[in-house]
């Protein structure tokens, strides 16, 4: 049986929990990020250890392999430089056409690199922690991406770290479109759940939309958070839902969200 002091202790803890659960969302978020920032030295220690392991592994790579890798990267760099020249010419042409049509010129993206320092320990949510916080100008709802495509958005910001909610989490819906046809829908977590987190649903596509496996899915830019044209993934298959009122397509994400180590955050 519980003694009286023990009962008092349990009631006190229950009260603490109730107060925490009843906090307004913003206050709760601040308290959470404050507690999470206590782990910052440990995250730093873990990344230092990881860097040391990486350096040790790199020092064991034979010189011949490194030279071959450098040549491969130089070749890739030359190809990217040519593509950049082509892209700059296309951007100039687009700006000229936009000006002729009376549209405001597109402003270039400002991206900040961030390192993934941790993942959400709960299995219900999909999120990662990155090493940029309010001190580096982070704020909520900033898009997060990699060269392969969309990763998610900044959900909570602490002084030194931020929490990013990943595409496929129920709290990170994305306004998306089929790149070929322009039919729009909403990307969200796959119905029934996907253990690996590599597949999401593109819901609310119009019934008349042409959806074929392999079609590219990109952000539509209509949601106010993600700019248009960021690669989300490729269609696997589709089915009619809501008694045939609209279509749902399963989409395989372009980014391997389970192996993220570096991401880019688009800042205003």
Partner 1 sequence: MNWVHPTAILLTVLLLAFGQAALPGFREITSVQPDFLPAVMVYVALHAGLPMTTAAALLGGLAFDALSAGPLGLSVVPLIAVGVFLHLRRDLLLRDSAWAQALLGAGAALVTSMGSLILLLGLWPLLSGAAETSGPWPERLGSLTTPPIVGPGLLWQWLVTAAAGAVGTPMVFGFFRWVDTTFQYQPVPKSGYRTDRDREIARGRR
| Contact residues: partner 1, CB under 8 A | 1-2, 6, 9-10, 13, 16-17, 20-23, 25, 28-29, 31-33, 35-36, 38-39, 42-43, 46, 117-125, 127, 129, 140-141, 153, 155-156, 163, 165, 169-171, 173-175, 186, 189-197, 222-226, 258-259
- The residue among 29 and 181 lying less far from partner 1, judged by its C-beta, is 29
Please report how close the Cβ of residue 103 comes to partner 1 at its closest, in angstroms: 21
What is the number of alpha carbons within 13 Å of residue 101 lying toward its C-beta?
9
Alpha-carbon gap, residue 167 to 122, rounded angstroms: 16
User: What's 60's DSSP letter?
Assistant: T
Closest approach, Cβ 182 to partner 1, in A, equals 16
The CA distance from 15 to 11, in Å, is 6
CB of 259 to partner 1, least distance (A): 8
Measured from the CB atom, is 95 or 175 closer to partner 1?
175
| Closer to partner 1 by Cβ: residue 12 or 240 | 12
Least separation in angstroms between CB 254 and partner 1: 19
Contact indicator for 249, 256 with CB cutoff of 8 Å: no
State the sign of the Cα–Cα–Cα–Cα dihedral 133, 136, 141, 144: negative
Pairing of strands 246-253, 199-206: antiparallel
Q: In angstroms, what is the minimal distance from the CB of 175 to partner 1?
A: 5
Please list, in sequence order, all residues whose beta carbon lies within 8 angstroms of the beta carbon of residue 263, skipping any fewer than 6 positions away. Answer: 113, 114, 116, 128, 130, 144, 145, 146, 151, 164
* Residue number, 180 or 194, with CB nearest to partner 1: 194
Closest to partner 1 by CB, 129 vs 250, is: 129
């Amino acid at each position: 049986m519980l003694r009286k002091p023990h009962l008092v202790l349990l009631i006190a803890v229950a009260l603490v929990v109730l107060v925490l659960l009843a906090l307004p969302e913003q206050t709760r978020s601040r308290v959470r990020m404050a507690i999470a920032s206590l782990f910052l030295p440990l995250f730093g220690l873990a990344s230092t250890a990881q860097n040391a392991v990486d350096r040790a592994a790199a020092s064991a790579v034979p010189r011949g392999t490194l030279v071959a890798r450098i040549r491969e990267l130089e070749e890739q760099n030359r190809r990217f430089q040519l593509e950049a020249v082509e892209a700059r010419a296309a951007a100039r042409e687009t700006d000229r056409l936009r000006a002729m049509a009376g549209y405001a010129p597109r402003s270039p993206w400002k991206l900040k690199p961030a390192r993934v320092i941790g993942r959400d320990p709960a299995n219900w949510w999909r999120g990662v922690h990155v090493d940029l916080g309010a001190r580096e100008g982070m704020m909520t709802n900033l898009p997060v991406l990699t060269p392969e495509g969309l990763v998610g958005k900044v959900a909570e910001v602490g002084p030194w770290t931020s929490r990013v909610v990943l595409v496929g989490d129920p709290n990170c819906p994305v306004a998306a479109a089929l790149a070929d046809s322009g039919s729009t829908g909403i990307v969200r977590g796959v119905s029934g759940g996907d253990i690996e987190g590599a597949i999401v649903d593109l819901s609310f596509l119009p019934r008349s939309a042409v959806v074929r496996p392999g079609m590219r899915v990109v952000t539509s830019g209509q949601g106010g958070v993600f700019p248009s044209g960021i690669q989300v993934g490729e269609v696997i298959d589709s089915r009619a839902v809501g008694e045939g009122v609209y279509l749902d397509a399963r989409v395989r994400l372009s980014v391997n969200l389970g192996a993220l180590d570096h991401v880019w955050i688009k800042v205003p």
